[in-house]
Amino acid sequence: MIKLKDLLSEGKFQMKGKYLYMPTGEMSSIPGDFDRDVLKLTIGRDDFSVYKEKGKLHAYGSKYSQEFKNEKALVAWLNRKNAKYLGIDDR
């Protein structure tokens, strides 16, 4: 079982089951095809909207977009790029 203090001290994105744990302590599932929400993240000066579309994970940004085959690849990319969680927004 992951404890909240372990997540806060590590400062990285983690995926447990269907939930994405943010470095700041928040937890959210990744919105799917029929959800109107997206996760908003920032990497450097670019804002990204993260959600699932047709079974694949997408991160659409202002300058480029990225597609991932699974949650593990998304989490690795977020940690490598030092992404910051902004919140949840409409599509």
pLDDT in tens, the chain (91 residues): 555 555 444 579 999 988 999 988 889 999 988 889 999 999 999 999 999 988 899 999 989 999 999 999 999 999 999 999 999 988 7
Q: Give the pair of three-digit tokens for residue 5.
A: 């203090």
Cβ-Cβ contacts under 8 Å for 42 (sequence gap 6 or more): 48, 83, 84, 86
Cβ-Cβ contacts under 8 Å for 14 (sequence gap 6 or more): 2, 7, 20, 21, 75
